[in-house]
Structure 1
């Protein structure tokens, strides 16, 4: 409960600002044409973007794991590669390749290409852990390949789809850099502009209220759809590998679709970065080691902090699902759905008023990373805990082990993949964070993301390219770790 209250600091900041304004001053700021335009843009982005990422993620996982697609091993790696390219770098690549790209369709293109791996990875991990015997039984009862997928495989992907879809939706609500690059207005970009012009102005606070409401609606939908189903099983299931679906005439279409997806999500941004890298000034490289070190330290601190903070609520949600766990889990998502600039300004206000010694220190930056990226760790831990059978822990206790010993020796080792994946996801996000780092970091702090943004927003594409490349290279080990952990679910 203490952690949940701490996560609500940014929400409290927005609410306090709204209370100071009052409804008479707030209503005209909410019910105006500009807010309606932003609401249409944001809702369309969610309605079109989230299902698209789910189709791409689940469809890609099924093709590489359950079909006779040629080169499945290579495509399984290619499909996760976009996760190593920050969304604003992908937007930078597309904007420099096609300067006319902008608006809703440009935003959808960049966002879906950048975020579909957040659904693909958990879907692939879950699919590799399914018992092939269930599919064999369905086929023996006369079901075809598509019926097996729809009636046996897809229902068991519920947690992966809902969790991944929720993360994608929260990213779409909070994304700034990728949409600012292609001049697509959402609530987040409008809030950033409003705060930059009026600092803690009433207009930005009003927009923050609408954005927080949208997040609350998403949380209610996800919690209701998730239910209280259990997905754990004891044993490795059938020793036989799953039967692969024959694609037949659809094989060339599937191959072409995956190639196009890989080129659009990975090759286009990389080619743009390499092209501008050739025109970079040698002086840019001299500042990169310091930026790299500061990025590693801050991102690592954020990853550790997020895992520690997420674990208690993930345990309650996985082991004791119910109304209390949902109420404690909600603040984590509500706070992280707010744009990073609101989180940063809330922490600025709190530190200046209550603990001035923490203002503009690494601790405040790490706290912002924990709040913003906590769902990445929480979803991963929750899914991991849900698939660890309680019977294993009970067996250890029946042999004389205390509850703490049983959990530390039986449950925790089985959660290492989920902990590593959640920490890696948080570190990825923290390394790429822009607005909170700019506002909260001590004077003189320069991360790879802020240095990239400083150059790219000034249309200095050659100066931004080295930092973009280093961000991608830095992300590769974390993405490789997450991809490797999916093999831990295999039989």
Structure 2
């Protein structure tokens, strides 16, 4: 890693952050306000569409948009696009690569921004909002109460955009943009690990940790178990501008959700039509689509097996660890423990791989080398940096549904922790636990940045295979695998909504 490469990586990272936050924040915040506060027709369905994108992996966003707008996209094949847009190969200039990568990051962050800002909106005190509405109307309440009260949550949404850019290297690798996380990954993958590599990864994590501590404490995220989400405030009537806002909200959301999905379906059935003496034309075929679906299910059986095995193992470790930590930690310390666990999300994925490799890839004792080379221990440990925080949130949310009175009564009755868990908590919440496990397994299938450096020889997951294939453009099987991960992402979003609905 040369000083020039480091300087370029810093500039690119700042540019990606600016692009990501500059697009995702206004779009996501507007969608949150429209869905939670206004009388936009079908706002509940609109919110479901927005949230359906939350669990879709970042590289699937790149693949979905590339299927329509990329070098091998069907829109380019029809001659409707003169240049490559959002194609995961090198474009005409580094600035175009940077803009494409930043836009993909922004598209993936829009649902998260809407969710985080929406959570801040519903936590605004109803009494203050009603007073402001009485004094000056809806827009006065929005400017002077709702937005200022939601300020910490907007900071948290910006933090999510920053964290996404600074910890992920998948999109920057596809578009060949040298960011800080990408620089650490390239050094590690080439075997050029130096003190600069370590200091870059640790420096990124330290900066994010400082920002996380400030923002999370300001937003009160450590008091997760004390939240009670409610319908706060009255629905604002948009008046004459209602249909303008409705068309904008539904049009933008349908474009965000529908265009990549339609592009994947079209690309999966896209094939050339050759007629003697005429130029090659392209068209869509149902037979080709069904063939792609069959190939997607048959050709990647080893990848499905390894992904499922890794998902089950990682989920078991994450849930078991979260439950154990929650049970052993004194109640007054759980806020700080939860904050420490959530900060694992701020560790860059390539740095996770370096830490796991340094800890396990050793000749002495021999068992560490065996675990690293011959088992899934390394990727399971790496995925805990992403799954354990989510598992902790599920544990806090599910146990809080039981209620403090139930735990106090069990303590009075003299029940042990095992009896409390098996006789009281499990019968009341087993559906939520099952949903949480399914959700974590789906997140595990889509995770890549932490495990890409530590997969043992002979092990290739679905995410790794798709990542390799996307470097060569979008083909039929790529579209099929992206479609599989999109469906899994929808399932995870539905499970999260169902599991946390009691909060």
In structure 2, the CA distance between the partners of 1:103 and 1:39, relative to structure 1 (3 Å rule), is same
Aligned to 2:484: 470
Distance 1:253 1:172, change over 3 A: farther
Alignment-derived partner of residue 259 in structure 2: 268
- Relative distance call for 1:379 and 1:53 in structure 2 (3 A) is farther
RMSD (Å), alpha carbons:
4.2
Match runs of 1:322-361 below 5 Å:
326=336, 328=337, 332-333=341-342, 335-353=344-362, 354=365, 355-360=368-373, 361=375
**1:60 corresponds to:** 31
Greater helix share, structure number: 1
Q: Can you list the C-alpha shifts for 1:127-173, whole angstroms capped at 9, x where unaligned?
A: 66x69964785368546324545666567767865665544432221
Please, which of 88, 94, 108 is the counterpart of residue 65 of structure 2?
94
Partners of 2:59 and 2:311 lie apart in 1 by 17
State the 1:245 CA deviation: 0.7
Change in CA separation of 1:181 and 1:265 when aligned onto 2, cut-off 3 Å = farther
Flag the 1:372–1:467 CA change in 2: closer, same or farther, 3 A: same
Is 1:301 aligned to residue 313 of structure 2? yes
Higher deviation after alignment, 183-192 or 414-423: 414-423
Mapped to 2, the partners of 1:378 and 1:76 lie a distance apart of 25
Q: Distance in 1 between matches of 2:227 and 2:176?
A: 51
Match of 1:429 among 440, 443, 446: 443
Give deviations 1:52-81, integer Å, cap 9, x for gaps.
Answer: 545444432332233211121321121112
1:247 CA displacement: 1.2
CA shift in 2, pair 1:263/1:109, >3 Å: farther
Q: Within 2, Cα distance between the matches of 1:419 and 1:152?
A: 37
> Which whole-Å CA distance do the structure 2 matches of 1:119 and 1:458 have between them?
31
CA deviation after TM superposition for structure 1 residue 205, in Å = 2.5
Change in 2 beyond 3 A, CA 1:60/1:443: same
Match of 2:390 in 1: 376
Cα displacement (A) at 1:295: 1.9
Contact 1:451 1:467 in 2 (8 A): no
Alpha-carbon distance between aligned partners in 2 of 1:228 and 1:340, rounded to the nearest angstrom: 23
Give the TM-score of the pair, scaled to structure 2.
0.73
2:497 to 477, 483, 489: 483
Does residue 106 (structure 1) correspond to residue 113 (structure 2)? The answer is no
Q: Which residue of 2 is the match for residue 10 of structure 1?
A: none
Matched, 1:208 2:217: no
How far off its partner does 1:459 sit?
A: 3.1
Aligned to 1:46: 17
1:367 pairs, out of 381, 391, 394, with 381
Deviations 1:84-110 (A, max 9, x none): 532112112334514244344323321
1:226 aligns with: 219
Structure 1 residues 88 and 303 mapped into 2: Cα distance closer, same or farther (>3 Å)? same
Distance of aligned partners of 1:352 and 1:395 in 2 relative to their CA distance in 1, 3 Å threshold: closer
1:85 counterpart SS class: coil
**Counterparts of 1:251 and 1:149, CA distance in 2:** 17
Tell me if structure 2 keeps the 8 A contact 1:67–1:247. yes
Corresponding residue number in structure 1 for 2:283: none
SS in 2 for 1:440: coil
Q: Deviations over 1:5-24 (max 9, x none)?
A: xxxxxxxxxxxxxxxxxxxx
Distance 2:437 2:153 in 1: 17
Q: TM-score, normalised by structure 1?
A: 0.75
**Is there any run of 5+ residues in structure 2 with no aligned partner, and where?**
71-83, 87-95, 271-287
In structure 1, C-alpha distance between the alignment counterparts of 2:155 and 2:332, rounded to whole Å: 19
Kindly indicate whether residue 237 of structure 2 is the aligned counterpart of residue 249 of structure 1.
no
In terms of mean alpha carbon deviation, does 467-476 or 262-271 score higher?
A: 262-271
CA distance in structure 2 between the partners assigned to 1:236 and 1:109 by the alignment: 32
Q: Summarize the Cα distance change of 1:384–1:441 in structure 2 as closer, same or farther, 3 Å threshold.
A: same
User: How many angstroms apart in 1 are the aligned matches of 2:104 and 2:34?
Assistant: 23
SS at match of 1:92: helix
How many Å separate the matches in 2 of 1:217 and 1:244?
A: 37
Please give the alpha-carbon distance, in whole angstroms, between the structure 2 residues aligned to 1:70 and 1:48. 31
Partner of 1:20: none
Distance 1:36 1:377, change over 3 A: farther
Q: Distance in 1 between matches of 2:414 and 2:182?
A: 54
Contact 2:225 2:396 in 1 (8 A): no
